[in-house]
């Protein structure tokens, strides 16, 4: 994919966006005077925490414009789909749901439909929307999200679909209003984009080059969250281990963890994702030293075969990965490890797949996200000749998942009668009469308890381990 034009974003733009927010607010007030109805919006988010965070920004901007959130598309004046294209099924879901909006809009012709996010960074997707989804009013991308107020004002004055997608990222923009969905647990982006270009992955093309936020901006945001009731913060980036490389200040991810560990009132600090090629000894030391940093690392290995890892451009070997795991386990006792695995990457033989199973057997992960390789147009792996057939991919996938489930079940069984510390989050999703929380290792625990425990760190004895969660009782 070609990359052109460097877009400069200045503080003037941000002031301008404030003016557009104000203009929309005035417009909505006038509409309210006429109709006595507050304008409603819904943001539907697909994909990862990057998109979740962008949706919080969209919600923040909309609420400053006087919009109110609804969970019903039918009654909404504005529907935004924030899309993901990491695998084909993510895209198909968006197309399906976008198609369904056509009928809803027939009954509500004034409804504005906007689509944004990673899918829009692919020219062929924008073309498909222009041709087949003409009920869409606005298309924008990941790099100009801060311009949304201006685009929305322009949509109001435009008869045709408005499309504004920037091919390349600008500077990081701080200070966009945002609405936080989580009280107790919050997510904080410490960097954007990715420089790794794993050959299967679309993210570097949709999110641009890696940029790290300044330490001071992150510290201010986390402090602010803690002052507003957050107890646990997860630091986000496609590869947090390379944090700081784009900053003038000489600072590493380990330094950032040590800095955030000083924040009073913060109970737990998590992070994801860690790329194995950048796991330094200093970072392992920081995880071990910092009492707030939880004993859990999401550490994707993707494939066990050195041949496949090379073709994936992951820049580590199976042996490097296993060595890093050993170091982590030695320095951080009780660390739980989770990972991502892709099966059916082009050229993967039965022998290569057995290497993946071997890593699973050796490391014994606490949880694994398993994916069937999905061709992403524009990535190098899409052009590779030896694509694996669907039947083989599914057969390997099923074998992998059943082995992973066995191991996870065994690990959970080992928790029988153990005492764990959990942060109580709220009612259990599976049994509303119970409460739920997570251990520092990120294990889900359900238990009977009083609602006054929500937000507290509580000691629990595990009385019944299950395959994917643990049942426990409060220790008084
Ligand atoms: N930056 C993170 C992951 C981002 S995408 C990391 O490097 O770990 C989340 C996961 O989706 C990846 O870890 C990978 O396992 C999976 N994935 C990405 N592209 C894929 C593709 N084309 N097909 C199948 N799985 C894919
Ligand atoms: Fe994709 Fe690799 Fe970057 Fe993760 S590190 S986002 S898998 S290119
Ligand atoms: Fe995330 Fe999907 Fe984009 S995984 S970065 S929303 S392609």
Residue with CA closest to ligand 3 atom 2? 84
Strands 457-465 and 78-83, by their bridges, are unpaired
Asked if residues 460 and 472 have their Cβ atoms less than 8 Å apart, the reply is: yes
Report the separation in Å between the CA atom of 380 and the middle of ligand 1, taken as the mean of its atom positions: 14
Query: Ligand 2 pocket, 194 CB below 6 A?
Result: yes
Ligand index nearest the alpha carbon of residue 83: 3
pLDDT tens string, the chain, 476 residues long: the values are: 434 444 555 656 667 888 999 999 999 999 999 999 999 999 999 999 999 989 999 999 999 999 999 999 999 999 999 999 999 999 999 999 999 999 999 988 899 999 999 999 999 999 999 999 999 999 999 999 999 999 999 998 888 999 999 988 877 777 777 776 657 998 999 999 999 999 999 999 999 999 999 999 999 999 999 999 999 999 999 999 999 999 998 999 999 999 999 999 999 999 999 999 989 999 999 999 999 999 999 999 999 999 999 999 999 999 999 999 999 999 999 999 999 999 999 999 999 999 999 999 999 999 999 999 999 999 999 999 999 999 999 999 999 999 999 999 999 999 999 999 999 999 999 888 999 999 999 999 999 999 999 999 999 999 999 988 999 999 97
Q: Which atom of ligand 3 is nearest to the CA of 51?
A: 6
Q: Tokens for 228?
A: 């507003």
Asked if residues 195 and 312 have their Cβ atoms less than 8 Å apart, the reply is: no
Q: Which atom of ligand 3 is nearest to the CA of 86?
A: 7
Report the separation in Å between the CA atom of 201 and the middle of ligand 1, taken as the mean of its atom positions: 6
How many angstroms separate the most distant Cα atoms in the chain? 70
Q: Tokens for 269?
A: 């600090």
Query: Ligand 2 pocket, 204 CB below 6 A?
Result: yes
Residue with CA closest to ligand 1 atom 11? 86
Give the 3-state DSSP-derived string for the chain, with helices as H, strands as E and coil as C.
Answer: CCCCCCCCCCHHHHHHHHHHHHHHHHHHHHHHHHHCCCCEEEEEECCCHHHHHHHHHHHHHHHHCCCEECCCHHHCCEEEEEECCCCHHHHHHHHHHHHHHHHHHHHCCCCEEEEEEHHHHCHHHHHHHHHHCCCCCEEECCCCHHHHHHHHHHHHCCCCCEEECCCCCCCCCCCCCCCCCCCCEEEEECEECCCCCCCCCCHHHHHCCCEECCHHHHHHHHHHHHHCCCCEEEEECCCHHHCCCCCCCCCCHHHHHHHHCCCCCCCEEEEECCCHHHCCHHHHHHHHHCCCECCEEECCCECCCHHHHHHCCCCCCHHHHHHHHHHHHHHCCCCEEEEEEEECCCCCCHHHHHHHHHHHHHHCCCEEEEEECCCCCCCHHHHCCCCCCHHHHHHHHHHHHHHHHHHHHHHHHCCCCCEEEEEEEEECCCCCCCEEEEECCCCEEEEECCHHHCCCEEEEEEEEECCCCEEEEECC
Q: Which atom of ligand 2 is nearest to the CA of 197?
A: 8
Residue with CA closest to ligand 2 atom 2? 198
Q: Tokens for 226?
A: 């803690």
Q: Count CB-CB contacts under 10 A for residue 358.
A: 14
The confidence score (pLDDT) of residue 182 equals 54
Q: How many residues appear in the chain?
A: 476
- Residue 4, burial from CB neighbour count under 10 angstroms (0-12, 13-18, 19+): exposed
The confidence score (pLDDT) of residue 105 equals 92
Report the separation in Å between the CA atom of 422 and the middle of ligand 2, taken as the mean of its atom positions: 31
The confidence score (pLDDT) of residue 471 equals 96
- Please tell me the distance from the alpha carbon of residue 76 to that of residue 79, in angstroms, as a whole number: 6
* Nearest-10 Cα torsion for 102, 104, 105, 111: -130
User: Which domains occur in the chain, in start order?
Assistant: 11-164 (3.40.50.12160), 185-349+356-367 (3.80.30.20), 419-474 (2.40.50.140)
Query: Ligand 3 pocket, 85 CB below 6 A?
Result: yes
Asked if residues 276 and 299 have their Cβ atoms less than 8 Å apart, the reply is: yes
Ligand index nearest the alpha carbon of residue 142: 3
- Please tell me the distance from the alpha carbon of residue 62 to that of residue 21, in angstroms, as a whole number: 8
Report the separation in Å between the CA atom of 336 and the middle of ligand 1, taken as the mean of its atom positions: 20
Residue with CA closest to ligand 3 atom 5? 203
Q: Tokens for 276?
A: 């194995």
The confidence score (pLDDT) of residue 431 equals 87
Q: State the helix-helix crossing angle for 49-64 and 11-35, rounded to 10 degrees.
A: 60
Q: Which atom of ligand 1 is nearest to the CA of 194?
A: 1
The confidence score (pLDDT) of residue 7 equals 55
pTM of the model: 0.92
The set of protein residues with a Cβ atom below 6 angstroms from ligand 1 is 86-87, 200-201, 203, 238-239, 273, 275, 300, 302, 340, 342, 371, 373-374, 376
Query: Ligand 2 pocket, 198 CB below 6 A?
Result: yes
Q: Which atom of ligand 3 is nearest to the CA of 85?
A: 7
Map tokens 């099966």 to a residue: 343
* Nearest-10 Cα torsion for 40, 45, 49, 55: -30
Report the separation in Å between the CA atom of 434 and the middle of ligand 1, taken as the mean of its atom positions: 34
Report the separation in Å between the CA atom of 34 and the middle of ligand 3, taken as the mean of its atom positions: 40
The confidence score (pLDDT) of residue 11 equals 59
- Residue 322, burial from CB neighbour count under 10 angstroms (0-12, 13-18, 19+): middle
């Amino acid at each position: 994919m070609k990359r052109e034009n460097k877009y400069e974003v200045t503080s003037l733009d941000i002031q301008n966006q404030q003016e557009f927010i104000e203009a929309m607010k005035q417009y909505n007030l006038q509409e309210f005077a006429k109709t006595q109805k507050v304008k409603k919006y819904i943001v539907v988010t697909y994909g990862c925490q990057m998109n979740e965070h962008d949706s919080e920004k969209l919600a923040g901007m909309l609420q400053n414009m006087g919009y109110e959130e609804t969970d019903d598309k039918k009654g909404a004046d504005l529907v935004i789909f924030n899309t993901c294209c990491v695998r084909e099924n993510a895209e198909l879901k968006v197309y399906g749901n976008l198609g369904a909006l056509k009928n809803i809009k027939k009954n509500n012709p004034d409804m504005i439909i906007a689509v944004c996010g990673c899918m829009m960074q692919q020219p062929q997707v924008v073309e498909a929307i222009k041709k087949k989804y003409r009920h869409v009013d606005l298309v924008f991308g990941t790099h100009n999200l801060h311009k949304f107020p201006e685009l929305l004002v322009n949509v109001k004055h435009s008869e045709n679909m408005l499309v504004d997608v920037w091919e390349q990222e600008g500077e990081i923009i701080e200070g966009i209003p945002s609405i936080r969905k989580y009280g107790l647990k919050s997510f904080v982006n410490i960097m954007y984009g990715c420089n790794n270009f794993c050959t299967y992955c679309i993210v570097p093309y949709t999110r641009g080059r890696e940029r790290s936020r300044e330490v001071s901006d992150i510290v201010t945001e986390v402090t602010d969250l803690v002052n507003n009731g957050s107890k646990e913060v997860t630091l986000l980036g496609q590869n947090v281990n390379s944090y700081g490389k784009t900053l003038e200040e000489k600072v590493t991810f380990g330094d950032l963890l040590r800095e955030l560990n000083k924040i009073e009132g913060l109970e737990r600090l998590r992070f994801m994702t860690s790329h194995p090629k950048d796991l330094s000894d200093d970072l392992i030391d920081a995880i071990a030293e910092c009492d707030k940093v939880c004993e859990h690392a999401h550490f994707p290995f993707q494939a066990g075969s050195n041949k496949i890892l090379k073709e994936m451009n992951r820049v580590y070997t199976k042996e490097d990965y296993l060595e890093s795991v050993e170091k982590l386990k030695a320095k951080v006792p009780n660390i739980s490890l989770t990972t991502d695995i892709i099966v059916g990457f082009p050229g993967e033989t039965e022998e290569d797949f057995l290497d993946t199973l071997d890593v699973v057997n050796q490391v014994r992960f606490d949880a694994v996200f398993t994916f069937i390789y999905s061709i992403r147009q524009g990535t190098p792996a899409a052009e590779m000749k030896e694509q694996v057939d669907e039947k083989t991919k599914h057969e390997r996938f099923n074998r992998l998942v059943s082995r992973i489930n066995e191991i996870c079940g065994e690990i959970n069984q080992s928790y029988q009668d153990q005492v764990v510390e959990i942060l109580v989050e709220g009612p259990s999703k599976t049994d509303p009469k119970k409460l739920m929380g997570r251990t520092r290792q990120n294990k889900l625990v359900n238990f009977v308890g009083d609602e006054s425990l929500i937000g507290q760190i509580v000691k629990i004895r595990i009385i019944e381990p299950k395959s994917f969660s643990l049942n426990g009782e409060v220790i008084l």
